[in-house]
Amino acid sequence: MIRFSLICEHDHEFEGWFRSNDDFDTQKKRGFVDCPNCGSHRIEKALMAPAVSTGRKQEKIALAMGEAQKWALAQLKAMAEKVRENADYVGDKFAEEARKIHFGESDPRGIYGEATLEEAKSLAEDGVEFMPIPSFPEDRN
């Protein structure tokens, strides 16, 4: 929302909230904007009021989103770490090994490793249960 300082043909000043500059123009053209003092539809924008309060609000929301993303990332990271602690690393043999476990040719256990998109697709088609875990640059050492 943008706050506009408006002024009518009789120099009455008042304020109006609009979604955008275009919103103001549209509403004005349709005659939806009128002066609260005299009802005149001949309205012009006075100097635009600096919308400090809205600006601050948006800043707060952006900050909250940043925190939520950090939190989600931490959760993902913790989950990935748990998998790495409790599962066997099979490297790029993941698809092969996962299929063996699925069909009972290998001991049932948790594994993790890398697979190509094609391999992952074909595993999913075979009904093998797996999930992607995020990898973080600092983990690759």
First-to-last C-alpha distance (Å) of the chain = 48
Tokens 């948006």 sit at which residue?
58
The gap from C-alpha 139 to its chain's centroid, in whole angstroms, comes to 25
42 near Zn ion, rule: CB under 5 A? no
For Zn ion, the binding residue among 12, 77, 84, 99 (CB under 5 A) is 12
Cβ contacts of residue 138 below 8 Å, gap of 6+? none
Kindly tell me which of 20 and 37 has the beta carbon lying closer to Zn ion: 37
Any contact of residue 58 with Zn ion (CB under 5 A)?
no
| Structure tokens, 136 | 């973080």
98 interacts with Zn ion by CB under 5 A = no
The residue among 34 and 114 lying less far from Zn ion, judged by its C-beta, is 34
Residue 14 beta carbon to Zn ion: minimum distance, rounded to whole angstroms: 8
C-alpha–C-alpha distance, residues 123 and 117, integer Å? 10
Single out the residue of 6, 33, 35, 95 in contact with Zn ion (rule: CB under 5 A): 35
Spatial distance between the Cα atoms of 107 and 97, rounded to a whole number of angstroms: 10
8 binds Zn ion (CB under 5 A): yes
Amino acid code (one letter) for 102: H
Q: Which is nearer to Zn ion, 35 or 111 (CB)?
A: 35
Q: Which residues would be at the binding site for Zn ion (CB under 5 A)?
A: 8, 10, 12, 35, 37-38, 40
